[in-house]
Amino acid sequence: GGGAARAPAVLRTVITIGGGTPATGPVAEPEEAERPLSEQHRTELTTYRTIALRAALADDPEAAFIAVLHAMVIRVLVTAYRTGSCLEISTTSARPDHTVQGLEAYRPASALDAKREAWAKRMPADHAAIWDFLVALAPEQRTELFALCAGLSVNAVHSPYDRRPEAMPHADRLAQLVGLDMTQDWKPTATNYFSRVTKGRILAAVGEAKGEDTARLLEGLKKGDMAREAERLMADSGWLPELLRTPGL
């Protein structure tokens, strides 16, 4: 009717403390409640969490092993998921140069490929599930997988543009540690060595392995004939170029 207009209803939050008289509290504006944390605030809070995680992982060797293993797996086995770890561990597996002759018949290459493919097939199709897969693995299987990932990360290939002067000496140390004997799977042939070096190097190699008298028998040969004869003479000599030798072996 013609009476005074009613004031709009006001909704208030009612807070009861210890059964006492209800009290009214201020109501946050919707846009204030939904406002995200500032970038700086998020950075500060996650800094606390990062430090706590570092300390916790440092006190838990088993969890640390799983975390490092996961970081390696997603970088050398499941490369489409490279960013799926918060650990700043960079592990890569450089592709071998398949123009190198003889790799297709090289036993260590085929054995490594078979092992890598077998583990890759065991990985969950959902990359986010890899973590749970690794946690559920038996400890000895985790160790086996860790060794594979570490092996795949080795890069002791000479490159004219390489800027890793310490890599080759470390490769020597690693070869000593694992007792690497290249004579088990590599033999000098005309194709992989003798035809690629000077006649002087051929004679030096034969002289070192078979004696100077044997080397002199090759001196008058043409390069191609010398390379083939050196291959025949050195077939079971166990001789290796210096780059393939393990110090002390």
Strands (E), the chain: 13-15, 23-25
**What is the pLDDT confidence band of residue 24, given thresholds at 50, 70 and 90?**
low
Q: For the segment 180-227, what is each residue's pLDDT rounded down to a tens digit?
A: 999 999 999 999 999 999 999 999 999 999 999 999 999 999 999 999
Looking at beta carbons, which pairs linking 95-101 to residues 24 or more positions away fall under 8 Å? Answer: 96/157, 97/157, 101/191, 101/192
Between residues 230 and 22, the one the model is more confident about: 230
Q: For the segment 94-148, what is each residue's pLDDT rounded down to a tens digit?
A: 888 878 888 989 999 999 999 999 999 999 988 889 999 999 999 999 999 999 9
Name the nearest CA neighbour of 207 among 224, 230, 227.
Answer: 230
49-68 average pLDDT score: 98
Name the nearest CA neighbour of 202 among 175, 221, 186.
Answer: 221
Name the nearest CA neighbour of 232 among 201, 213, 210.
Answer: 210
Which tokens belong to 32?
């204030």
Please give the pLDDT value at position 79. Answer: 72
Name the nearest CA neighbour of 151 among 98, 105, 94, 201.
Answer: 94
**What is the pLDDT confidence band of residue 23, given thresholds at 50, 70 and 90?**
low
Q: Is the pLDDT of residue 12 over 90?
A: no
Between residues 9 and 151, the one the model is more confident about: 151
How far CA 36 is from CA of 33, 40, 47, in Å, comes to: 8, 11, 18
